Amino acid sequence: MRNIIIDCDPGHDDAIALLVALANPEKLNLLAVTTIGGNQTLEKVTKNAKNILAYVNANVPLAMGQEGPLVKPLHTAPEAHGDSGMDGPYFKENDYPIVSDNAVFYMYQTIMAQAERVTLVGLGPLTNIALLLKTFPDVKSKIEMISIMGGGIRRGNMTAAAEFNIYVDPEAAKIVFTSGLPIVMSGLDVTEKAFVTIEEINALENGREVHQLVYELLKFYNESGKQFGFEHSPIHDLCAVSYLVDPTMFSGKHYHVDVVTDDGTTRGMTLADRRLKPAKEQNVFVLEDINREAYVHTLLQALARLDKM
Ligand code: RIB
Ligand code: CA
């Protein structure tokens, strides 16, 4: 059993990652969910997190984090996730509680209160996690590792060089990547291989409630992905959670990865030193390949469990 906190910006793929984490309580003890401005504004992604947690009757503390990145203005992604940040499904009004509007302090209190160390899961810009590490350096002794969806050592998606989560807050990412903590990076190298096909999506239709929810999420997300050239739908964020459920479905390598924070065409790039003799010590385990069938099985098993809960 691993204690985890998920920091996210729901986001269709964030939502699915949350569901899979909730469906594996024997492996993942979800201590809290925190939100960060990213795919949409903080208000919108927090409402989306409330909707997902209420939909499956979760009993997990939800705290709101930073509205935007450390230095630059927030850049959202309505083109990918819609105006709500999670277009597609309809959610009934709910009164799912928000336990704090200071996620950084809430994360600190939660982590320090645990007997065992905690794994952080970052599914959006890394602003909250960076502020946690900078504001409360003593927290590092209680953090086991950080599993993030972000970056890519071969290409970006927001720009040719930068993936969205890193692009939004590269200064925060640099703080995390230089923290000295073990980092597992689910970058685009692996997440773009971690897709569901339209046939797999359509097979979810008319299932029970959670199957139907994920069908509606992925139907929108698949349509939206076409503008970026995707036929199938990469569930980017689910990699960062699936690695914790079953790391054997992945393969990767350790690299020294730096984050470009200069203004210019490579801002937000995660630059891996892939020379035979890299200049600095390796700080990131970069996932590069995935057993896609095992990945889809993990998702389907989670949906089956949630629809029985
Ligand atoms: O580049 C993909 C990432 O950006 C995912 O986390 C997605 O939710 C968006 O935040
Ligand atoms: Ca996300």
What is the amino acid identity at position 212?
Answer: Q
Ligand 1 lined by 7 (C-beta under 6 Å): no
* Three-class DSSP category at 96: coil
Ligand 1 lined by 119 (C-beta under 6 Å): no
Distances in Å between the Cα of 73 and the Cα atoms of 63, 130, 267 are: 22, 17, 14
For ligand 2, the distance from its centroid to the CA atom of residue 88, given in whole angstroms, is 16
Q: What is the pLDDT of residue 309?
A: 75
Q: Per-residue confidence of the chain (309 residues) as pLDDT tens digits?
A: 999 999 999 999 999 999 999 999 999 999 999 999 999 999 999 999 999 999 999 999 999 999 999 999 999 999 999 999 999 999 999 999 999 999 999 999 999 999 999 999 999 999 999 999 999 999 999 999 999 999 999 999 999 999 999 999 999 999 999 999 999 999 999 999 999 999 999 999 989 999 999 999 999 999 999 999 999 999 999 999 999 999 999 999 999 999 999 999 999 999 999 999 998 999 999 999 999 999 999 999 999 999 987
Q: What is the pLDDT of residue 249?
A: 98
Dihedral sign computed on CA atoms, order 155, 160, 164, 165: positive
* Three-class DSSP category at 163: coil
Phi, psi (deg, nearest 5) at residue 308: -100, -20
Dihedral sign computed on CA atoms, order 255, 167, 237, 241: positive
Ligand 1 lined by 39 (C-beta under 6 Å): yes
For ligand 1, the distance from its centroid to the CA atom of residue 158, given in whole angstroms, is 10
Whole-angstrom distance, CA of residue 25 vs CA of residue 67: 30
pTM of the model: 0.98
Superfamily of domain 2-308 in CATH is Ribonucleoside hydrolase-like (3.90.245.10)
Ligand 1 lined by 124 (C-beta under 6 Å): yes
> Which one from 81, 236, 254, 297 is the annotated catalytic residue?
236
